[in-house]
Structure 1
């Protein structure tokens, strides 16, 4: 099997060197070249014909967004952004995802070398997924197995560390419906596609999207801008109301609890589940336990299996579940795993998710 041909584009010689060393660990990736700016990168793309690019945002001669915009218009390629964990970096990275970047990896400002090496498994996995991802009509293929062994703590943490499993099917016929939505890779754009087609009379939506904490405010703002519903970052013990969207903060699990006939957001600072915080499995389990058959579960594009077990628990509790189909997903990991577990009622294209939701609203 041919190696993934990778071109690294970053104005920092240190970052180029470290990324090269990280990717050289993988038997499946070959760094065919590096470039200090997009002008050099443009020539190397023509000469080296890479399969995937990693792309910095702030570079000399041409910024990363301008380069990405031109690339996606003239020669679409899978791109993984390398971004700073700041609010400014978050806003620009989300714009890059709008332009067609597959995913991003954080580039913290302090202790860059050590941090990037700690993230080696994540970076390699994202490049592998990008190589197989759906980019402007390219066919999606399943994610390869990760190169590195997952740490013991990450491997063992399931939703059980936050909430015990559902023990009985629950029906709550006297309260409003809730829509619970989970997503990961490709999810920021997929979520906007769904919510822009929902009226402000739609039942409340709770969302767990895998994002760093610094990205939460920018993402909520983007969603609020395109939706007739009101969108906010979920606050601890905030009442959940129809016509509103509540997004889990990037460093907390979002749990739905009940107070009589009311639904309430509860934030939990427990350990990562399925290596994620927020974890979709945690949110889905809480919805299964406390909303039952009054819930609609939605799983959009995403890498891995987070949320698959929780979606099955929601179905067992009487919820109606909808997943995005493989053809329209950037990565059919999370939706595909939910399908395999038998937790799905409907499989629809991204453009049809909103309409399917509205047909299920009671």
Structure 2
């Protein structure tokens, strides 16, 4: 039997620590090894207990959760799952936490009762188990410079990933030129975070980035981020593609679905499509990769956990792409 995932709970509220610890203890394969009321106590416990994963409150007095997360990612990188309030400030802090390298960010229950934690328990348990042993790194300390203008060859880029892909997306989009390939993104973000993420990215990247809407033309120089909620997003037709929003049931528990996006670009563009999967830890994305492979599209997926990079494949050909070469490899695929 595999050893349980050791979790350290960090929150300044005694009630929240008790409720969250109690909820986590009900997840098979998860063991809460300690709880801390702030950064000072958490530092000591990390040394003593060597947790696999930490849950961290964003809004703490003294050293905030964001400040402590930045310290963790600089000095002792480890998987961290954040908890934040359901406010505009909470959304901004959540996106910043994800950019710094947090695995995910969950909204704090509106009412501190066990029943509220039960609503997120399945997803939280899934994230914690997937986080154990995951490679984590701090946000880049050097400014990413956009690439020179692209001599585009007509290919469309579709990207899918979990919330944990936020850091990789910031790095990738910061490296793209203003006239980047048309790019459609499905990321499994919490409700209310997509707009905040777009605002944050728009401050730092050269391409235009917008929230995907039904009927939008898929154009060079624009990144389209699918909103979480009631619809899947697909690319209809290629070239001169259009975005369509489909009100269908969730796929593998997710809506919008990475697999549905990938299948649509494979059908529409075939060899002119590129699908990039950024660290999805669930079933969503797997069927989409198979559709891309069957359609003769280019597929880029994470390499095995012990390898820091990606595997680029098309039909039977495959090659390893180091993580720091991902933007260059994508632009090469999109250049004449």
TM-score between the two structures when normalised by the length of structure 2: 0.84
Query: 1:108/1:269 Cα in 2 relative to 1: closer, same or farther (>3 Å)?
Result: farther
Change (3 A) 1:108 1:249: farther
Structure 2 unmatched ranges of 5 or more: 139-152
The residue number in structure 1 matching 2:258 is 280
SS at match of 1:61: coil
Judged with a 3 Å threshold, the aligned counterparts in structure 2 of structure 1 residues 275 and 45 are, in CA distance, closer, same or farther, namely same
| Bigger mean CA offset, 264-273 vs 247-256 | 264-273
Equivalent in the alignment of 1:62: 63
Please give the alpha-carbon distance, in whole angstroms, between the structure 1 residues aligned to 2:79 and 2:189.
19
1:166 maps to: none
Give distance in 2, aligned partners of 1:202 and 1:250.
Answer: 24
Return the alpha-carbon distance in structure 2 between the equivalents of residues 16 and 204 of structure 1. 44
**Displacement after TM superposition at 1:112 (Å):** 5.7
Q: TM-score, normalised by structure 1?
A: 0.79
Change (3 A) 1:108 1:342: farther
Instruction: In structure 1, list runs of 5 or more residues that go unmatched.
Output: 138-174
Greater relative contact order, per chain length (Cα 8 Å cut-off, separation 6+): 1
Matched position secondary structure for 1:95: helix
Tell me whether 183-192 or 346-355 shows the greater mean CA deviation: 346-355
Partner of 1:355: 328
Compared CA separation, residues 83 and 192, structure 1 to 2 (3 A): same
Distance 1:27 1:110, change over 3 A: closer
Which range moves more in the overlay, 8-17 or 244-253?
8-17
Distance in 1 between residues matched to 2:306 and 2:95, nearest whole Å:
19
Deviation string 1:6-35 (CA, Å, 9 cap, x unpaired) is 211112333222221222123422212212
Question: Number of aligned pairs?
Answer: 319
In structure 1, distance between residues paired with 2:220 and 2:300: 20
CA, structure 1 residues 84+270, in 2 after alignment: closer, same or farther (shift >3 Å)? farther
1:236 aligned onto 2:190: no
Q: How far has the Cα of 1:39 moved from its partner?
A: 2.8
Contact 1:254 1:265 in 2 (8 A): yes
1:254 aligns to what? 233
Match of 1:240, SS state, is coil
Cα separation, 1, equivalents of 2:307 and 2:208: 26
Question: Conserved in 2, the CA contact under 8 Å of 1:11 and 1:36?
Answer: yes
Whole-Å separation in 2 of the counterparts to 1:274 and 1:342: 25
SS at match of 2:203: helix
- Give CA deviations for 1:65-107 in whole Å, capped at 9, x if unaligned: 1122223333333211112344322221221123232222332
Deviation at 1:319, TM superposition (A): 1.6
Q: Considering only aligned residues, what root-mean-square deviation do their CA atoms show, in Å?
A: 2.9
Q: How does 1:65-214 map to 2 (within 5 A)?
A: 65-109=66-110, 113-136=114-137, 176-214=154-192
SS of corresponding position for 1:44: helix
Q: Is the 8 A contact 1:20 1:31 kept in 2?
A: yes
Maintained 8 Å contact 1:324/1:353: no
Q: Which residue of 2 aligns with 1:50?
A: 51
> Are 1:3 and 2:4 an aligned pair?
yes
**Distance in 1 (alpha carbons) for counterparts of 2:116 and 2:299:** 38
The answer to whether the Cα contact below 8 Å between 2:19 and 2:112 also exists between their aligned partners in 1 is no
After TM superposition, give the deviation of residue 64 of structure 1 in Å.
0.7
Would the aligned equivalents of 2:19 and 2:113 in 1 still touch at CA under 8 Å? no
Runs (4+) of structure 1 exceeding 6 A deviation are: 341-344
- Deviates most, 275-284 or 321-330: 321-330
Secondary structure of 1:223's partner? helix
Distance 1:28 1:44 in 2: 21
- CA gap of 1:342–1:34, structure 2 versus 1, over 3 A, is farther
Q: Is the 8 A contact 1:322 1:347 kept in 2?
A: no
The equivalent residue for 1:314 is 292
3-state DSSP class of the match of 1:26? coil
Q: Does the Cα contact within 8 Å between 2:15 and 2:112 map onto a contact in 1?
A: no
Give the SS at the match of 2:236.
strand
1:45–1:37 CA distance, 2 compared to 1 (3 A)? same
